[in-house]
Structure 1
Amino acid sequence: MTQETVRPRGLVGRTWMRLSHEVLHRAEPVMGRLVHPARLAWLGRVPAVPASAVPRLRSPARPWTAAVPEPPAELRTQPGIGRTSAAEDEAARDRPLHHFFALHADAVAKVSGYLWPALVSVAPRLVRSTTQLIASRSEPAGRATAEDPTTLAGSLRAEAAALGISATGVTSYDPRYQFAEFPGPEVGDRVIVCILEQNYEATQRIPAERSEQAALSTYAQLQDRLVELTRWLHARGFSARAESYIGESMFIHYAVAAGLGQLGLNGQLLTPHAGSRCRINVIHTDAPLPLDEPVDFGIEGVCDRCQACVRRCPVGAIPGRRREHRGVVKAKLNTKRCLPIVTQAAGCSVCMKVCPVQAYGLPAVLEEYERSGEILGTHTDELEGYDWPLDGKHYPPGSTPKVPDEVVRPEGYAFDPDRTDPPSGYPVLGA
């Protein structure tokens, strides 16, 4: 997929980035209080310009239609992700899956205030879209239509494409991936997975407040489309319930199961057309839609040979190898080091920016690999270079910022990676 060229910042731009970042963070003790869920709610009543009118935040809102070539044999692993069902069952039984914001609520509460610039600026649009989504969770007015399942699925995908949803897949509901803080949806055994592409230019500016705003704005834009798709299902007599962007279940699990991508070393879903430069959400329904299957796009093979995210992470939070966790073979991030950087460095997300699948699309990456045996863009400044908001400097391949201890381990920050039950006294964000 051809993308627009993003002009790099010069000295003036990087200086402005550093100064604005410092000013915004100095305001955190006061403004950070606004990001508490109880205080964010009122912002839904504040007038906001639609995201479609803000080019720097606007999703392309187009379905992905370009063909993805078959990967060469040496990049193949398995469809979707490696997993051991018995171990997944055991983990779900003995260690129920908790929402991250609940399991590590004390740590999140300590550092999340630094995200206030992005949250407050997008909150009016995001809260309003969430309110509309929750209101759409009504039962269908009549009896379900007796439409052929394959025809119904085709009509659903056509409607999703008309709404500008980038990709749509269907898989079955899996209670093992329902967060313990939320009851099951109880509306059917099908999960419709919807993906919306995120603004390209804003993502290439990572790390930046603008990039974080674009991510949150894309969630709101996707929720607006889920409301319409839910109404479409209701009009045909089917029950349908969309989750909010907070997530009541593990979205990435469903996206992989529905054949929409594979897990990258950065812990994110890599879609073949945009990598992790997208947002995911799901609709639970009783519509008898045929199930999609996991796909081997060759993404794990690309990740093993690329490892740009492993090299470029400012705090070394990404392992270069996968291991089994809860029955799933994946690279498990060092969240203890990652979380403070995400919140204090404008959302960080360097691992997204430096991913060649995100920047160029998988077809271009596979084409270059077939031609040269190399991963497109690796070890180049265009792909791997980034500007660091904490010091205003540019870091090309081979160099990373020195992150102070007070940023990696802010005072009062306690993160227990082995915790299995949420701390008491910290409510999870509602959905």
Structure 2
Amino acid sequence: MLKVGHVVVRPGRKAGMDPVEIPVPEELETVPGIPMVSKDIDFYSREYPLVRQQVEHGADTEWAPTVGTAAMQKYHHEHQAVMEEFYPLMNRTGDLEPTGTPSGEDVTQLIRDKAAEMGFLDVGFTDHDVRFIYEDRKGHVKYQNAICLALEQDFAETQTAPSMAAEHGHYGTYEIQAPMGLRMVDYILSLGYGAQLHGPSNHSAATIPMFVAAGLGQLGANGQLLHPHAGARCRLQIITTDAPVTFDKPIDYGFHAFCQVCQVCVNRCPGRALMREKIWWRGVEKNKLIYKRCRPVMSRYEGCAICMKVCPINKYGAKAVMEHYVETGQVLGKGTHDLEGYTLHEESTGKYVTGYFGPGELPTFDANFFKIPNGTRENAALEELVEYIGTQPDGVDKASDEKALFDFRDRLRVILHGEVSDSTMF
């Protein structure tokens, strides 16, 4: 039996449920939230501001839909059609005027109660840290107070990952969350205050730092927020507001140290995209995700999500996991087929590995599997032109040369004058 350092008490999973007590072993105690060096975060946000995935990795957002299965492509386009109805409404919420008269009183509890009534898994309040706002969204965010709203993705569907059922659970949650967020905006407007919705998908900032600051979880080794009830199975959304609210504080759930003991997501990742040891990155201590090894697997194998599926916090909840660790010093479920097993279904080309992989078993891929377009869409266009030039004899086919140059010019015009998608899928 290990010594308990402290006990975290959180509201039950749903309204009316008893609070949950989570024992944190003394040996897993670190800091509330995540270790960070504030001055380093200041430096990186000033000199190298964060860039949205749709911009920084624009080249592979164009590529990804072309390699998914036919069922994936069909569903993603159907989902995109649903979300396109909500994006304009979400993007304009910052321009809406309050519909009620402000009381001047703290409205934190009113919003908590409303969130529970609406069906959100959890809600927290914090400062909307400008250091984590994306470079091209800095002028978009209007209010300083952040309301962090977490909606739980279906457990049973998630546990089938990688699969179309898990993709329906993933993106289907967004389709529920978007109108819920808009209704919460309407509620805050009725209280007499401004409210601006950010997400799902069209986020204005990196959301996880705000959720950690609001006490809703800690960053996991899989690069996702680990919530005490749902693990990484939360879809995140932020409403910024000028309403008077009381900020929550970050919490040490023991996850920061537990992930180093557990390592199940690291060991089970098909693409070997998760780093075993923590490093300091942009002022934060974390297990860094290797994007170029993650993206090809996600795109080809039905969204992957294996790192979510095999996380013990996701599977059993923090209370059960920490109680088991206190009693045994062991990670609940580690080494079992129940937690670690997964099946890779056939991908679009039929060239790459399929089948069931149990504990200790991993698929292997050749180097071509990981070759994806890199960088922005401008980078991809230039690389294609360079590749053309490198394969053509100089000056032999002037018509083809001119066509390649004009195609490059026209593609740049589309990129420069078009809008960046609000979706992270394409």
3-state SS of 1:317 partner: coil
1:140 to 79, 91, 98: 98
Match of 1:414 in 2: 373
Match of 1:216 in 2: 171
Residues 1:164 and 2:119 aligned together: yes
Match of 2:308 in 1: 352
Match of 1:332 in 2: 288
Within a 5 Å distance, the mapping from 1:167-182 to structure 2 comes to 167-182=122-137
In structure 1, stretches of 5+ residues that fail to align are 1-60
Match of 2:151 in 1: 196
Q: CA deviation at 1:288?
A: 1.1
Match of 1:122 in 2: 79
Q: CA deviation at 1:192?
A: 0.2
Deviations 1:207-259 (A, max 9, x none): 01221121111112112111111111100110001013221111111111111
In structure 2, give the amino acid aligned to 1:399: E
Q: Distance in 2 between matches of 1:195 and 1:84?
A: 26
Output the TM-score relative to the length of structure 1.
Answer: 0.79
Asked if the contact 1:125–1:217 (Cα under 8 Å) also holds between the matched residues in 2, the reply is no
Match of 1:6 in 2: none
Within a 5 Å distance, the mapping from 1:98-113 to structure 2 comes to 98-113=51-66
3-state SS of 1:253 partner: helix
In structure 2, give the amino acid aligned to 1:402: T
Asked if the contact 1:340–1:408 (Cα under 8 Å) also holds between the matched residues in 2, the reply is yes
In structure 2, give the amino acid aligned to 1:271: H
3-state SS of 1:71 partner: strand
In structure 2, stretches of 5+ residues that fail to align are 1-12, 347-352, 383-411
User: CA 1:428–1:186 in 2, change beyond 3 Å: closer, same or farther?
Assistant: closer
1:84 to 37, 53, 58: 37
User: CA 1:134–1:100 in 2, change beyond 3 Å: closer, same or farther?
Assistant: closer
Asked if the contact 1:379–1:397 (Cα under 8 Å) also holds between the matched residues in 2, the reply is yes
The number of aligned residues is: 363
Asked if the contact 2:50–2:134 (Cα under 8 Å) also holds between the matched residues in 1, the reply is yes
Q: Rg larger in 1 or in 2? A: 2
Match of 2:298 in 1: 342
Match of 1:45 in 2: none
Q: CA deviation at 1:84?
A: 0.4
Deviations 1:368-422 (A, max 9, x none): 111111010011000000001134411100101123433322xxx23359x99x9
% same residue: 31
3-state SS of 2:335 partner: coil
Q: Distance in 2 between matches of 1:129 and 1:194?
A: 17
In structure 2, give the amino acid aligned to 1:74: E
3-state SS of 1:226 partner: helix
Q: Distance in 1 between matches of 2:325 and 2:287?
A: 23
Asked if the contact 1:142–1:237 (Cα under 8 Å) also holds between the matched residues in 2, the reply is yes
User: CA 1:94–1:136 in 2, change beyond 3 Å: closer, same or farther?
Assistant: closer
3-state SS of 1:181 partner: helix
1:94 to 43, 47, 52: 47
Deviations 1:310-338 (A, max 9, x none): 11011211011111111111111110111
Q: Distance in 1 between matches of 2:55 and 2:18?
A: 38
Q: Distance in 1 between matches of 2:32 and 2:136?
A: 30
1:187 to 121, 136, 142: 142
3-state SS of 1:89 partner: helix
Match of 1:293 in 2: 249
Q: Distance in 2 between matches of 1:339 and 1:171?
A: 31
Q: Distance in 1 between matches of 2:342 and 2:112?
A: 37
3-state SS of 2:20 partner: coil
Q: Distance in 1 between matches of 2:113 and 2:214?
A: 17
Match of 1:232 in 2: 187
Q: Distance in 1 between matches of 2:19 and 2:361?
A: 36
Q: Distance in 2 between matches of 1:281 and 1:94?
A: 27
Match of 1:368 in 2: 324
Asked if the contact 1:175–1:184 (Cα under 8 Å) also holds between the matched residues in 2, the reply is no
Deviations 1:328-382 (A, max 9, x none): 1111111011111111110011111110000110000011111111010011000
2:334 to 363, 378, 391: 378
Asked if the contact 1:218–1:279 (Cα under 8 Å) also holds between the matched residues in 2, the reply is yes
Q: Distance in 2 between matches of 1:128 and 1:414?
A: 29
Match of 2:270 in 1: 314
